[in-house]
């Protein structure tokens, strides 16, 4: 084969493989993400953090929700701790500058309009939702610094691995959207 055609073909194959590797391996199109640094807050000034608390709520009058087969609280904590560490924040309960808490909720009777045809207002349908909100607060003032929220469809039949992957995707994307990835020593937060 001619090297002039072989090299571009190999580069195209590598590029295609890289693009496929970057795509999540689970369905995430339904997950809506929003994160925000609150006005006047400066996440770059924080070096230490601790857990402030967690809460979960389920609205399921029909008894249709099936809990996952793993400890959801442990999984959220593990993922958040990894994201905080990736940003150079050290967990220090005795000298924390930042407090982190979260809320997990499931609403099995969530109604939203679903149009049958484009441009139509839509018919109300039950589309169960799950949500996660993460809040960071200044430990001294108790004022919010950063808030992130993810909302996605709850669907029966998802494996525990798929639920874990969707949770990891949401938490990672929330942190990535507003909080830079790592810190330079003495320079605050920087993107890499």
Query: pLDDT averaged over consecutive 10-residue blocks of the chain (192 residues)?
Result: 48 44 69 94 92 93 89 96 95 96 94 87 89 96 95 91 95 88 44 30
Looking at the domain assignment, is residue 35 inside a domain? yes
Is 81 inside a domain boundary? yes
Look at residue 144 in the predicted model and tell me its pLDDT: 94
Domain count, the chain: 1
Q: Which domain holds residue 101?
A: 28-190
Within a domain: 104: yes
Q: What is the pLDDT of residue 154?
A: 92
Task: Look at residue 116 in the predicted model and tell me its pLDDT.
Answer: 86
Residue 5 lies in a domain: no
| SS3 labels along the chain | CCHHHHHHHHHHHHHHHHHHHHCCCCCCCCCEEEEEECCCCCHHHCCEEEEEEEEEEEECCCCCCCCCCCCHHHHHHHHHHHHHHHCCCEECCCCCCEEEEEEEEEECCCEEEECCCCCCCCEEEECCEEEEEEEEEECCCCCEEEEEEEEEECCCCCCHHHHHHHHHHHHHHHHHHHCCCEEECCCEEECC
Instruction: Tell me if 17 is assigned to some domain.
Output: no
76 part of a folded domain? yes
14 within some domain: no
CATH code of the domain covering residue 137: 3.30.160
Residue 71 lies in a domain: yes
């Amino acid at each position: 084969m001619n090297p002039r055609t072989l090299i571009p073909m190999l580069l195209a194959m590598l590029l295609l493989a890289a693009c496929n590797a970057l795509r999540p391996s689970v369905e995430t199109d339904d997950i809506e993400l929003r994160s925000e640094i609150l006005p006047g807050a400066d996440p770059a000034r924080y070096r230490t953090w601790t857990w402030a608390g967690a809460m979960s709520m389920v609205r399921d009058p029909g008894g249709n929700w099936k809990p996952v087969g793993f400890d959801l609280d442990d999984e959220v904590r593990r993922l958040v701790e990894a994201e905080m560490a990736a940003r150079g924040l050290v967990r220090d309960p005795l000298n924390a500058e930042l407090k982190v808490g979260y809320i997990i909720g499931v609403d099995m009777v969530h109604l939203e309009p679903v149009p049958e045809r484009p441009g139509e207002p839509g018919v109300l349908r039950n589309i169960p939702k799950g949500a996660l909100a993460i809040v960071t607060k200044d430990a001294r003032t108790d004022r919010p610094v950063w808030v992130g929220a993810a909302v996605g469809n709850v669907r029966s039949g998802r494996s525990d691995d798929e639920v874990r992957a969707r949770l990891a995707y949401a938490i990672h994307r929330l942190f990535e959207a507003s909080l830079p990835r790592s810190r330079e020593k003495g320079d605050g937060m920087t993107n890499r």
